[in-house]
Amino acid sequence: MPLLYCSESIEALPENCLMIGDSITDFNAAKNAGFKCALVTYGYHQGVDLKSLGADAVIDDLAELLV
């Protein structure tokens, strides 16, 4: 619900939003809200292989989002 609140507050459709996170919890939140999801390889990934989750992107550095 927090992600949907954010998208509604800026009048953006969820499918036009991107959630950036570092865990399966973040991935699930983005998926449930209808957001695109980019996961960073550093942070609190709890030993989960982030690439196996099916995120739109798995990146090592936020600068990769600019490419």
d(CA 50, CA 67) in angstroms, rounded, equals 20
Instruction: Please give the distance of CA 54 from its chain centroid, rounded to a whole number.
Output: 11
How confident is the model over 12-58, as pLDDT tens digits? 999 999 999 999 999 999 999 999 999 999 988 888 999 999 999 99
pTM (2 decimals)? Answer: 0.90
For domain 2-66, the CATH class is: alpha beta
d(CA 14, CA 42) in angstroms, rounded, equals 25
Contact 33, 52 (CB under 8 A): no
